[in-house]
């Protein structure tokens, strides 16, 4: 027995050594942790249970039969994060550059299947040179097996991708299907084709960092949701995100006890809206004021900043917040903000997270660039997402709600459950000046001014919408937290379902 135990220990030690100390040092010298060190930060202490540490590749080409590293470049298993179960895989760059072989893919698929069976989230830590070059098509098949599972898991369990090194070629499509992508600044990148191929095909000279680094993907492409300065921060923030989410679509998000009273009044909100209705104000001040303990987990803060999305809690209950930001493009909806918010609304709807929408929107952004790039289809995504969502939907119009954007932003007509406005709300087909210039085209300047004033008085308020029942109430700003908290409490028992169908055909 003693000998067997000794042998087991020897084999486990060998597997834990993976690609060896030299490669581990190389990993550390790039400011990166190893696959196992990362798991130690992500998981609750002592909770990680590893699977498949003795798995080896089956390749015999290019002398690979003599080059076997137990574990085959990925560490997989289950663990707990703040006491709740999660399945994880963590690619090990010290073994074959974390490249994906058939066996490596099978290990990932096994934890994905396990996560699906158990109904718990899966987190993938990506640090890989891509397809295992020595294996060819077997590796491509492995990727496709992963993609297929990503798709089936979508909307069933939360899927989170952490990009902590290279992620290139077709490998990017697994993270792309998952719900959230976090990147590490300066040590991770994602692209379909790298700088060398770009140079050959388009003659552009671009660095890997510029082409697919964290900054490009959080600011320009919107592919990544957030970036953090090092491995530790990305792992800690992933733990924080997970606390807002349910384990699967069969559950509600966890309740978090709070000391923040639900009827806390916030008199700063009574003066948040500037006198001049064209002056901006910071919508984040409203968000931070009404949520529990100012704890806001913003998603995509650096992309399409004219809309704000993220998770928070009110009276302990997780909510998804969607809010126009008057500080950027006056809070207009455009292509990027519509796509950003639409995907978030759908995530919340998949996972039973009530949506609180804060509206101050002057309309859709005009221009040829928007029209030629398909604002019609992209704007429709947000409309579709809200209209399809059956989770509790609470809407508060703080100021402008003009035109089609009024309809889109979780209006009563799209099955908003509770729709409120502040007394400062302006709900109309369009702004007074634009409207009068159309109705009174050809009139002199004085007449236009007079009519503009009249239009402003008549329509720039919430009372007409309220008189039709499109708003359930007009509330005082300082009471907003209490009113939202009460609405969320009421809607806990909401039941609503859409007609039975295979799936809708969202305008992609
Ligand atoms: C096998 C690989 C590998 C790969 C890296 N390695 N990538 N082994 N298959 N894809 C090995 C290296 O041989 C090396 O082994 C070790 O990993 C570390 O690699 P280095 O090159 O020394 O590291 P670094 O300088 O940091 O460069 C990392 C890298 C580079 C930029 C990722 O290794 C690289 O360009 N790799 C190839 C990337 C690639 O073309 N992949 C295929 C893409 S196509 P030793 O033994 O020396 O430590 C693809 C299609 C997917 O992925 C399609 C899915 C549908």
Break the chain into its structural domains and give their ranges: 2-242, 267-425+462-492, 433-460
E-assigned strands of 65-151?
Answer: 74-81, 84-91, 122-126
Kindly give the distance from the C-alpha atom of residue 78 to the centroid of ligand 1, in angstroms, as a whole number. 27
Q: Determine the residue of 68, 97, 142 to mutate for testing ligand 1's pocket, defined as the one with the most ligand atoms within 8 A of the Cβ atom.
A: 97
Which CATH fold would you assign to the domain 2-242? 2-enoyl-CoA Hydratase; Chain A, domain 1 (3.90.226)
**CA distances from residue 62 to 65, 96, 136, 291, 479 in whole angstroms, order as listed:** 8, 13, 12, 59, 70
Please tell me the distance from the alpha carbon of residue 504 to that of residue 508, in angstroms, as a whole number.
Answer: 11
* Residue 169 is among the residues annotated as catalytic for this protein: yes
Please tell me the distance from the alpha carbon of residue 361 to that of residue 92, in angstroms, as a whole number.
Answer: 46
Kindly indicate the confidence band of residue 186, based on its pLDDT and cuts at 50, 70 and 90: very high
Residues 226-243 have a mean pLDDT of: 98
pLDDT digits (tens, 9 = 90+) for 408-451: 999 999 999 999 999 999 998 888 888 888 888 888 888 888 88
Q: Is 267-425+462-492 the same fold as 2-242?
A: yes
Nearest to 340 by CA among 369, 302, 314, 376: 302
* Residue 331 is among the residues annotated as catalytic for this protein: no
pLDDT digits (tens, 9 = 90+) for 455-499: 888 888 999 999 999 999 999 999 999 999 999 999 999 999 999
Residues 34-61 have a mean pLDDT of: 96
For residue 443, the model assigns a pLDDT of 85
Euclidean distance between the first and final Cα of the chain, in Å?
Answer: 61
Q: What does the block give as tokens for 82?
A: 């703040």
Pocket of ligand 1 (CB under 6 A): 23, 96-97, 99, 129-133, 140, 143, 166, 168-171
Q: What does the block give as tokens for 448?
A: 């236009």
Handedness of CA 208, 211, 213, 215 (dihedral sign): positive
Q: Residue with the nearest Cα to atom 43 of ligand 1?
A: 130
Kindly give the distance from the C-alpha atom of residue 130 to the centroid of ligand 1, in angstroms, as a whole number. 6
* Ligand 1 atom nearest to 19, measured from its CA: 48
For residue 130, the model assigns a pLDDT of 94
pLDDT digits (tens, 9 = 90+) for 348-373: 999 999 999 999 999 999 999 999 99
The enclosing H or E element of 482 equals: helix 480-490
For residue 439, the model assigns a pLDDT of 87
For residue 272, the model assigns a pLDDT of 97
* Residue 310 is among the residues annotated as catalytic for this protein: no
Residues 82-89 have a mean pLDDT of: 98
Please tell me the distance from the alpha carbon of residue 158 to that of residue 86, in angstroms, as a whole number.
Answer: 10
For residue 431, the model assigns a pLDDT of 81
pLDDT digits (tens, 9 = 90+) for 189-206: 999 999 999 999 999 999
For residue 56, the model assigns a pLDDT of 96
Q: Residue 440 burial by CB count (10 A; 0-12/13-18/19+): exposed, middle or buried?
A: middle
Please tell me the distance from the alpha carbon of residue 12 to that of residue 316, in angstroms, as a whole number.
Answer: 43
* Ligand 1 atom nearest to 30, measured from its CA: 26
* 8 A C-beta contact, residue 430 and residue 418: no
CA-based diameter of the chain, in Å? 101
Determine which one of 26, 119, 155, 170 is catalytic.
Answer: 170
> Which CATH architecture fits 267-425+462-492?
Alpha-Beta Complex (3.90)
* 8 A C-beta contact, residue 57 and residue 70: no
Give backbone dihedrals phi and psi of 456, rounded to 5 degrees, phi first. -60, -50
Determine which one of 323, 405, 421, 425 is catalytic.
Answer: 405
* Residue 214 is among the residues annotated as catalytic for this protein: no
pLDDT digits (tens, 9 = 90+) for 308-353: 999 999 999 999 999 999 999 999 999 999 999 999 999 999 999 9
Q: Residue with the nearest Cα to atom 20 of ligand 1?
A: 97
Residues 157-177 have a mean pLDDT of: 95
Tell me the average pLDDT of the chain.
96
* Ligand 1 atom nearest to 132, measured from its CA: 9
Q: Residue with the nearest Cα to atom 47 of ligand 1?
A: 96
* 8 A C-beta contact, residue 58 and residue 87: no
Q: Residue with the nearest Cα to atom 51 of ligand 1?
A: 170
The enclosing H or E element of 385 equals: helix 375-388
* Ligand 1 atom nearest to 23, measured from its CA: 48
Give backbone dihedrals phi and psi of 115, rounded to 5 degrees, phi first. -60, -40
Q: Residue with the nearest Cα to atom 34 of ligand 1?
A: 129
């Amino acid at each position: 027995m003693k000998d067997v135990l000794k042998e087991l220990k020897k084999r486990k030690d060998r597997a834990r050594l993976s690609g060896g100390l030299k490669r581990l040092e190389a990993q550390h010298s790039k400011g990166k942790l190893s696959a196992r060190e990362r798991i130690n930060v992500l998981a609750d202490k002592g909770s990680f249970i590893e699977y498949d540490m003795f798995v080896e590749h089956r390749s015999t080409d290019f002398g690979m039969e003599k080059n076997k590293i137990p574990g085959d470049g990925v560490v997989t298993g289950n663990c707990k994060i703040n006491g709740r179960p999660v399945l994880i895989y963590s690619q090990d760059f010290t073994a074959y550059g974390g490249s994906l072989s058939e066996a490596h893919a099978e290990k990932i698929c096994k934890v994905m299947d396990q996560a699906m069976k158990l109904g718990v989230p899966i987190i993938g830590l990506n640090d890989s040179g891509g397809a295992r070059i020595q294996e060819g098509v077997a590796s491509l098949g492995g990727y496709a097996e992963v993609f297929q599972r990503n798709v089936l898991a979508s909307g069933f369990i939360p899927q989170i991708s952490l990009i902590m090194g290279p992620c290139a070629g077709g490998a990017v499509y697994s993270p792309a299907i998952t719900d959230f992508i976090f990147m590490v600044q300066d040590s991770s990148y994602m692209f379909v084709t790298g700088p060398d191929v770009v140079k050959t095909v388009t003659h552009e000279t671009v660095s890997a960092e510029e082409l697919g680094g964290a900054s490009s993907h959080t600011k320009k492409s919107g592919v990544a949701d957030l970036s953090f300065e090092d491995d530790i921060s990305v792992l800690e923030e992933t733990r924080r995100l997970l606390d807002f989410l349910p384990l699967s679509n069969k559950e509600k998000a966890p309740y978090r006890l709070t000391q923040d009273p639900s009827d806390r009044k916030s008199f700063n909100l009574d003066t948040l809206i500037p006198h001049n209705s064209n002056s901006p104000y910071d919508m984040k001040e409203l968000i931070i004021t009404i949520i529990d303990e100012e704890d806001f987990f913003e998603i995509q803060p650096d992309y399409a900043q004219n809309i704000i999305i993220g998770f928070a809690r009110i009276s302990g209950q997780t909510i998804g917040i969607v809010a126009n930001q008057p500080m950027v493009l006056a809070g207009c909806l455009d292509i990027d903000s519509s796509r950003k918010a639409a995907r978030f609304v759908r995530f919340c709807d998949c996972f039973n997270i009530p949506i609180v929408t804060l509206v101050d929107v002057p309309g859709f952004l005009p221009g040829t660039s928007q029209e030629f790039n398909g604002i019609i289809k992209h704007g429709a995504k947000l409309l579709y997402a809200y209209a399809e969502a059956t989770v509790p939907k609470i809407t508060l119009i703080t100021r402008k709600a003009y035109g089609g954007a009024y309809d889109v932003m979780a209006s009563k007509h799209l099955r908003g459950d509770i729709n409120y406005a502040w007394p400062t709300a302006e709900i109309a087909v369009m702004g007074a000046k634009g409207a009068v210039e159309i109705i009174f085209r050809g009139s002199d300047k004085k007449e236009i001014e007079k009519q503009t004033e009249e239009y402003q008085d008549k329509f720039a308020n919430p009372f007409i919408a309220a008189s039709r029942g499109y708003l359930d109430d007009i509330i005082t700003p300082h009471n907003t937290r209490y009113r939202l908290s009460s609405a969320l409490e009421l809607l806990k028992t909401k039941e609503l379902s859409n007609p039975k169908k295979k799936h809708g055909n969202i305008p992609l």
